């Protein structure tokens, strides 16, 4: 089933990127941007993208439910069934803050999940056309070529820490623990970009506080299928529907263990 779905899903994502997302890039009116919460933006392109993706995915696999970020913003109860049965998970524009500001990165993320397990995930960068995808047990691919996660190889591993959803105390503690063992770099505030960086030799470690499925279901699978390691900070697997805080990805199991001991030990 996964192989049969791949090409239609990719075609749908590319058409939405081409016809809905990119025409609005750097072309949004002020009344087409709003805040769902402080520093949590939504645009007309997010809403139109989710509508089109939901319609297309429902046609491809009618037995699967739809769990979209914007639908959940309107009705939080939808998120309660994220770990129940077969569902499409949709992030219509990941990195909306960047998109709304007229800058990259941003992306479209789709995952197909069954219960708590992610079966397949797709991450599209509409600006460059780069497509990352993974299937459970089938490896990870970028633009059709299979990839293996690789460490950056620097003197200090490179860590991008998503500290903006942490308290001031948590943020200060993580920076203090990190500074002697890692080179800290800015995180792009876009999971659609951050997960590929862990596989493609750009970053070694990333820590996320929030673990919403539209941000992390596809990316976690992508890193793990590439031979990296992405799991809860306590060492347990990431399970869709479990909304506890704390998730860490690394370009190798070795670096995951190092980071866990340093940051959470």
116-164 per-position pLDDT tens digit: 999 999 999 999 999 999 999 999 999 999 999 999 999 999 999 877 7
- Cα dist. 252→58, 97, 216 in Å? 36, 30, 18
pLDDT band at 253 (very low <50, low <70, confident <90, very high): very high
Assign 165 a pLDDT band (cuts: 50, 70, 90). confident
Query: Which pair of tokens denotes residue 22?
Result: 């990119």
Cis peptide before 196 (omega within 30 of 0): no
Q: Running DSSP on this structure, what letter comes out for residue 18?
A: I
pLDDT of residue 171: 80
Tell whether 123 is in a known binding site.
no
Q: Is the Cβ–Cβ distance between 175 and 184 less than 8 Å?
A: yes
User: Tokens 């805080």 correspond to what residue?
Assistant: 245
Q: Taking the alpha carbons of 94, 197, 123, 2 in that order, is the dihedral positive or negative? A: negative
Q: What is the mean pLDDT of the chain?
A: 95
- Which of 8 and 37 is assigned the larger pLDDT? 8
- 173 marked as part of a ligand binding site: no
Going from the N-terminus, what domains does the chain have, and what CATH number goes with each? Answer: 2-147 (3.30.540.10), 158-264 (3.40.190.80)
pLDDT level of residue 192 (50, 70, 90 thresholds):
very high
225 is in an annotated binding site: no
Q: How far apart are CA 168 and CA 160, in angstroms?
A: 17
Nearest to 194 by CA among 185, 183, 206: 206
Q: Is 186 annotated as a binding residue?
A: no
More confident residue, 230 or 166: 230
pLDDT of 3? 80
Query: Is 50 marked within a binding site?
Result: no
Q: Which residues pair with 142 in a beta bridge?
A: 132, 145
């Amino acid at each position: 089933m996964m192989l049969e779905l791949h090409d239609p899903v990719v075609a749908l994502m590319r058409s939405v990127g081409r016809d809905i997302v990119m025409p609005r890039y750097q072309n949004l009116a002020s009344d087409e941007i709003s805040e769902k919460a402080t520093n949590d933006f939504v645009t007309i392109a997010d809403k139109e993208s989710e509508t089109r993706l939901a319609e297309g995915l429902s046609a491809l696999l009618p037995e699967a439910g739809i769990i979209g970020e914007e639908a959940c913003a309107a009705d939080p109860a939808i998120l309660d069934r994220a770990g129940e049965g077969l569902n499409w998970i949709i992030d219509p524009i990941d990195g909306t803050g960047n998109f709304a500001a007229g800058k990259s990165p941003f992306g479209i993320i789709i995952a197909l999940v069954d219960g708590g397990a992610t079966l397949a995930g797709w991450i599209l960068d509409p600006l460059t056309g780069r497509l990352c995808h993974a299937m459970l047990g089938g490896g990870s691919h970028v633009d059709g070529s299979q990839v293996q996660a690789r460490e950056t190889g620097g003197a200090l591993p490179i860590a991008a820490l998503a500290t903006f959803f942490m308290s001031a105390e948590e943020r200060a503690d993580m920076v203090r623990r990190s500074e002697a063992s890692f080179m800290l770099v800015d995180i792009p505030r876009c999971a659609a970009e951050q997960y590929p960086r862990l596989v493609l030799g750009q970053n070694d470690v990333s820590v996320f506080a929030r673990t919403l499925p539209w941000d992390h279901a596809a990316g976690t699978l992508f890193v793990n299928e590439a031979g990296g390691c992405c799991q809860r900070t306590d060492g347990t697997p990431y399970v869709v529907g479990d909304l506890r805080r704390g998730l860490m990805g690394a370009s190798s199991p070795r670096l995951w263990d190092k980071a866990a001991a340093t940051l959470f030990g």
